[in-house]
Structure 1
Amino acid sequence: MTRRHLLAAIVAATTLATVATSASAATDAAGRLATWAPSMTIGGPNFSNQTIRMVVHSSIAGSSPRITLSNLRGTTPLSVGAIDVAVQGGMATAVAGSHHTVTFSRSKTLTIAAGSEAVSDPVPMSVAAGQNLLVSVFLPKATSSATWHSDAFDTTFLSDAGDHSRDDGDGNYIAARTSWFYLSGVDLVPTTARSTVVAFGDSITDGYNTPTGAYQRWPDDLARRLAAAGAPHAVVDAGLGGNRVLTDVPNIWQGISALKRFQHDALGIAGVRTVILMEGVNDLHAAVNTAGGPLTAADLIGGYQQLIAQAHHAGVRIIGGTIMPDNEPADREATRQAVNDWIRTSGAFDGVVDFDHAMADPANPHSLNPPYNSGDGLHPNATGMQAMADAVDLKLLP
């Protein structure tokens, strides 16, 4: 048995129970697909007697959506007094007559234990591809620190006191944030989509420096490209700003390591058949491995091998994305090049998207191509995000 195969066997054996749970969650008798499912972390604000109205941008068309609420990172039970889903008319305004009360085991209220999530009953409505829904959650009691997704690059609306979940207008919504709170997923019965693709990564995948509410992240662009090609797939953005492959980030809202969150955030997604993995630049910046020593290319490759083994054990294909240029110092650049060479040539992944080649400046391949640069040298602008989506060979997504 080779070292690579031994590693895969060890990982498969030690994660069997978790993967089995994830595989069960990812397979639904009704053929459901996740259309939207941000990665959630600890560290959000507190709420009390307030309604949170959040925007969900559906990547596919379908019917009978279900809402997932998460208290996964909470430390106390979460009391939910009302949940409503409606079609967005504009900002916090709902289209009149489009409201649907969301129930959980036929109850309009629920309490979610700390460390748990709850999936709603199907909501009797249809959803169009690219349509925006408003999900309004009334929290009648004081909460602890929220389970949240800090950098939504979308607008969330906070009400004054009381239950305003079924308001058509925006008059009672008095504040706005750019985070999602407690809302961790929407799945539905697809109209034509084939499966779910999970884009798993860091702030680049999360959409950092893209315009708020414009849906110009590369996973958004990929979903539109697949639909235009007549091969629609749900595309879930599991990007998390600052996230690393090997180690947890000191800023708690940037999440536990990819190794720890991969089962839940990728393999547990409804209908997932393929994961596109592009993560590692923050490991290069941190320059430390899991033991606290200096990061080497072998360390990062070892992390990828563990993720590959977990995906394959769950019956999920995993596509490797090369790490994009970032004007790294010479030692970190050498590590990046070694890792990218391995991604391209090892055959360990089920396919490769060469984001490095697609996004590099032809005159200086250690830097981001200027037309794609949002201004910080690392994160692409809208043009760059489209170039990333265009770099994905659609034949990799059956």
Structure 2
Amino acid sequence: MTLRTLAAACGAALLAQFAVTPAALAADTPTHWVATWATALQSIPQQANLPPLYRAPEVAGRTVRQIVYPTLSGSTVRIHLSNEYGKTPLVIQELRIARSAGGAAAQANGGAKVTFGGKVSVIVPPGGELDSDAVEFDIVAGAPYAISSYMGADQRLVAWHRVSNQVNYVSLPGNHADDAMGGAFAQRFTQFAWVTGLSVEAPSAAAIAAIGDSITDGMRSSLNENHRWPDAFARRLARSGDRSTAVVNLGISGNRLLSDSPCYGDALAKRFGRDVLERPGVKTAILLIGINDINFSSMPPRAGLDCDYPHTTVSAADLIAGYKRVIAEAHRHGVRVFGATLTPASLPPQRESIRSAVNQWIRMAGAFDAVVDFDAALRDPAQPARLQRGYDSGDHIHPSDAGYAAMAEAIPLDAVANSTRK
């Protein structure tokens, strides 16, 4: 059970109004949970006249149905909710999980109601997060599941995972959490919200957390097809016979190692504890981050919403110092970190020299527990600063589906096996 920041966020008078209390949740604490699906949140810029990409759907008094793909099977599940960036309580009046039947539809009579301290409704305080009660419900790795939340009458969407590469749904007004048909879900959106984790009780299993920027997030991979490199790696593990290791994706498009952003989330060095170390069952993290730190210093400031702010200049030494802090934090919690080399991005010479120096350090310094050479897997042998044509999605930065698959193949399975053993 996690109920971080609850007391700090609320006074005793407000806490007394909540639908569920820490004591109620602590009564149900199963033995060994492992994350089977997860996502990382970022705040939505709160200003007038936002560009369409940053306009949140209306969710008050409606049902939000999100489609997730677990990577580890189990028969007992719990759902993690986050109000990390909320300034007001997050109110969910009913939450259900069911096997997806495609699109917004869910399998009839096959779902389960999710409770919190035995109650159907839950209020998560500003800055807080918590896990549901354990639910007896079969989860099959690789299958899609619909998580439906009937939202409070005044609920607003103030945080999300912006690039989900997955179509999710908002209903017409009313409680449609138990609807099998998708007809009431008239609005589509391609973000995740509030539901930031799914875990199963699995005493002999472990999870790998993939964390980084848009290349881990799967930017420009095929919509609804699960072609991000962590997806492909989860399938590779299953093909190898390893069905006890989950892979969860905690990438955020635009994210940086050292700097926060108004659009692209907290700096990875700051969010690593929350997004990786607090995930149940995580034994290993694969870290791919730094290309935006290198690039954003050269992006011109924009009027209105400047997502690249601050335009911080970084050196290879700055990035290396940031990696060392993340590694040290992980090791203090018994988590191993694999360092992934920065992939080719057709950078100008000065920025390319930083990328090359960082990659040389990742490969040679011995600071990481293992190295994943994504750069070598994707680069054009004739032009090493560029992606191979077949691995380029077209913007010369983000891989194609084939490129993401090649990244998954580059991860050393023997190092993974050693890192996830108890």
Q: Give me the TM-score of the superposition, normalised by structure 1.
A: 0.89
Is the CA contact 1:70–1:117 (under 8 Å) kept in the aligned structure 2? yes
Counterparts of 1:54-73 in structure 2, within 5 Å, are 54-73=66-85
CA drift of 1:140 comes to: 2.6
- Give the structure 1 partner of residue 220 of structure 2: 209
Cα separation, 2, equivalents of 1:78 and 1:195: 30
**1:294-347 CA distances to partner (integer Å, 9 max, x unpaired)?**
311100100000000000111100000000011111111111111100000000
- Give the structure 1 partner of residue 351 of structure 2: 332
Of 293, 299, 321, which residue of structure 2 is paired with 1:283?
293
The SS at the match of 2:362 is helix
Is the CA contact 1:75–1:144 (under 8 Å) kept in the aligned structure 2? no
Q: Does 1:30 align with 2:31?
A: yes
Cα separation, 1, equivalents of 2:105 and 2:387: 39
The SS at the match of 1:64 is strand
CA spacing shift, 1:331–1:112, aligned 2, 3 Å: same
Counterparts of 1:255-334 in structure 2, within 5 Å, are 255-287=265-297, 294-334=313-353
CA drift of 1:145 comes to: 3.8
- Give the structure 2 partner of residue 397 of structure 1: 416
Q: Does 1:40 align with 2:77?
A: no
RMSD: 1.6
Letter in 2 for 1:346: A
Is the CA contact 1:81–1:108 (under 8 Å) kept in the aligned structure 2? yes
CA spacing shift, 1:187–1:123, aligned 2, 3 Å: same
Letter in 1 for 2:231: D
- Give the structure 1 partner of residue 121 of structure 2: 109
The SS at the match of 1:80 is strand
Letter in 2 for 1:338: A
The SS at the match of 1:39 is coil
Structure 2 residue runs of 5 or longer lacking an equivalent are: 1-28, 45-54, 299-308, 418-422
Of 373, 379, 382, which residue of structure 1 is paired with 2:398?
379
Cα separation, 1, equivalents of 2:111 and 2:365: 51
Is the CA contact 1:373–1:379 (under 8 Å) kept in the aligned structure 2? yes
Is the CA contact 2:43–2:262 (under 8 Å) kept in the aligned structure 1? no
CA drift of 1:148 comes to: 1.1
Letter in 1 for 2:359: N
CA spacing shift, 1:366–1:40, aligned 2, 3 Å: same
- Give the structure 2 partner of residue 195 of structure 1: 206
Comparing 359-368 and 182-191, the one that deviates more: 182-191
Is the CA contact 2:79–2:199 (under 8 Å) kept in the aligned structure 1? yes
CA drift of 1:90 comes to: 1.0
Cα separation, 2, equivalents of 1:339 and 1:102: 46
CA drift of 1:143 comes to: 2.0
- Give the structure 2 partner of residue 10 of structure 1: none
Is the CA contact 1:37–1:236 (under 8 Å) kept in the aligned structure 2? yes
The SS at the match of 2:183 is coil
The SS at the match of 1:250 is coil
- Give the structure 2 partner of residue 230 of structure 1: 241
Q: Does 1:147 align with 2:166?
A: no
Instruction: State the percentage of identical aligned residues.
Output: 38
The SS at the match of 1:93 is coil
Is the CA contact 1:74–1:144 (under 8 Å) kept in the aligned structure 2? no
The SS at the match of 1:173 is coil
CA drift of 1:292 comes to: 7.2
Letter in 2 for 1:155: V
Q: Give me the TM-score of the superposition, normalised by structure 2.
A: 0.84
Letter in 1 for 2:342: I
Cα separation, 1, equivalents of 2:313 and 2:83: 35
Q: Does 1:347 align with 2:347?
A: no
- Give the structure 1 partner of residue 14 of structure 2: none
The SS at the match of 2:135 is coil
Of 227, 233, 258, which residue of structure 2 is paired with 1:246?
258
CA drift of 1:116 comes to: 0.5
Is the CA contact 1:146–1:182 (under 8 Å) kept in the aligned structure 2? no
Comparing 237-246 and 193-202, the one that deviates more: 193-202
- Give the structure 1 partner of residue 230 of structure 2: 219
CA spacing shift, 1:292–1:215, aligned 2, 3 Å: closer
Is the CA contact 2:61–2:155 (under 8 Å) kept in the aligned structure 1? no
